[in-house]
Amino acid sequence: MDSVYIVDAGNTFLKLAHFRQGELISTSIFTTLDSLVQEIAHATKIVLASVRSVAFNAQFTKLFPQTFLLNANLKLPFMIDYETPETLGIDRLCNAAALIHRFPNQHALCIDMGTCIKFDFVNNQREFIGGSISPGMRLRYASLHQYTAKLPHLEASKSFDLIGKNTTEAIQNGVQYGILGELHYMIECYEAKFPDLTIIMTGGDAHYFDFGQKNNIFADENFTLRGIYELYTFNAATT
């Protein structure tokens, strides 16, 4: 594979990555499709992984007929031990592909912190087992505003204290310490069951939470993009 442009169409942002000869050359983030179009107008190879609507995917592939669309009919470089594989989002399959590629024959967990917080686990037999999905940070902030009469709509904070001294601080520490507690407890449960577990933290909100003190946890903000590339190259090689 020489030059490939990868588009990860998440619920909130459009992420673009340029791979050349298997190496990640550049990444960028867009809020609208119009702004992205100008960046890839010249591209001959485009891969789209989308959790958005069928209408969005149709619009994208109409603009770029050369697009390779990742979908549920993909060939996978791993087995799936999941009761409803047809309901799996393409982002979770991409995370699993990246885990299998980077940590072959190991127990590995991807924690993807975006619109939703997703835990995706693969075992040392190259099987995707499953994981969990919970509301992400922005969803939690938005819900407090939308489902109450007076609470404000706040943004994430890089610093949050244990005890909030005003409503803003109380919401921020409630949301972000709540997520931190969820992460710590879930990781503790996984590690109790799989002592040799390796963990990847990724997603746009991962940088708000520091797990650098643990030597089995690694941060890679482009992990899902790497998984998209792995699924694309695996399918291109077998077609």
- Which tokens belong to 18? 């340029």
User: In what helix (H) or strand (E) does residue 114 lie, and over which residues does it extend?
Assistant: none
Q: Output the DSSP codes for 169-222.
A: HHHHHHHHHHHHHHHHHHHHHHHHH-TT-EEEEESTTGGGS--TT-TTEEE-TT
How many CB atoms neighbour CB 207 within 10 A?
13
91 part of the active site = yes
User: In what helix (H) or strand (E) does residue 137 lie, and over which residues does it extend?
Assistant: helix 137-146
Please state, in angstroms and as integers, the Cα–Cα distance from residue 230 to each residue in 67, 131, 158, 213, 234, following that order: 16, 21, 32, 29, 6
- Which tokens belong to 8? 């990860």
For residue 46, count CB atoms less than 10 angstroms from its CB and return exposed for 0-12, middle for 13-18, buried for 19 or more: buried
Catalytic residue among 2, 8, 34, 91, which? 91
Q: How far apart are CA 148 and CA 178, in angstroms?
A: 19
Supply the residues annotated as catalytic: 91
